[in-house]
Amino acid sequence: MKKIFKTKSERENGTQEKKKLSKGKKRVIIAAALIAVAVGAACYYGGIFDGSDDVAFTKIDDDDIPEDIKSNVIPEYRTLERALACAVDDDIYVIVTRGEKPTSGYEVSVAKIVLEDNGGEENLVVYAMFTDPDAENPISQVITYPTEVVKTDLKNLPDTIELRIQY
């Protein structure tokens, strides 16, 4: 059996090489973990694996809102903060109401609509942007009911509707 004796400097050099190698391995592992987390988050939040589809829509001007929605739906739901869908003729409309507000300056706009498949049921997720009045601008002391109506390319009403608010 042959014994190998190393000098102190040889032992220190060997230890430093091992440390350098382990630091390099650590960096590779950390980088791989960060990439895996980023890809996972993109898949989860981007809707890659959840069976969701973006729904095309167009904003409807107040003058072009169907009379059934103007006279029946909006008055019934305008005091609530919610999203709802209704069918008029062969078109599906989504209405987002923000509730009763004490002044002017409150706004609502539909940013995105996504149709998700949840175990055979269709869930419509409406992303709405809520804007509050700017404190520096003058506002009218009048009760308002911020509402937006959009016409979608959907062919059928969804089973459920969910409102997700962004400020």
Tell me: do 123 and 105 sit in the same domain: yes
Strand blocks (E) in 55-142: 57-59, 81-88, 91-98, 107-118, 121-131
Instruction: State residue 21's pLDDT score.
Output: 55
Take residue 34 and report the two structure tokens written for it: 């960060």
φ and ψ at residue 53, rounded to 5 degrees: -135, 140
b/e for 54-91, b at 16 or more Cβ within 10 A? ebebeebeeeebbeebeeebbeebbeebebbbbeeeee
Total structural domains within the chain: 2
Instruction: State residue 151's pLDDT score.
Output: 98
10-24, 38-52, 94-108: which is most confident: 94-108
Tell me: do 2 and 82 sit in the same domain: no
Mean pLDDT of 100-116: 97
Take residue 82 and report the two structure tokens written for it: 């919610």
Domain limit, last residue, from 49, 65, 82: 49
Take residue 162 and report the two structure tokens written for it: 């969910």
pLDDT at residue 93 tops 70: yes
pTM: 0.69
> Domain range for residue 36?
1-49
Q: Which residue has the higher pLDDT, 20 or 32?
A: 32
Instruction: State residue 27's pLDDT score.
Output: 80
Tell me: do 65 and 143 sit in the same domain: yes
Tell me: do 2 and 68 sit in the same domain: no
Tell me: do 42 and 61 sit in the same domain: no
Q: For the chain, how are helix, strand and coil distributed in percent, rounded to 5?
A: 30, 35, 30
Tell me: do 43 and 99 sit in the same domain: no
> pLDDT tens digits for 114-145?
999 988 999 999 999 999 999 888 999 999 99
Q: What percentage of the chain carries pLDDT values higher than 70?
A: 80
Instruction: State residue 89's pLDDT score.
Output: 93
pLDDT at residue 152 tops 90: yes
Determine whether 31 is exposed, middle or buried from the number of CB atoms within 10 Å of its CB (0-12, 13-18, 19+): exposed
Q: Which residue has the higher pLDDT, 48 or 133?
A: 133
Amino acid making up residue 77:
Y
Take residue 108 and report the two structure tokens written for it: 């609502």
Tell me: do 158 and 89 sit in the same domain: yes
Q: Which residue has the higher pLDDT, 148 or 167?
A: 148
Tell me: do 42 and 59 sit in the same domain: no
Q: Which residue has the higher pLDDT, 132 or 1?
A: 132
**In angstroms, rounded to a whole number, what is the distance separating the alpha carbons of residues 77 and 73?**
6
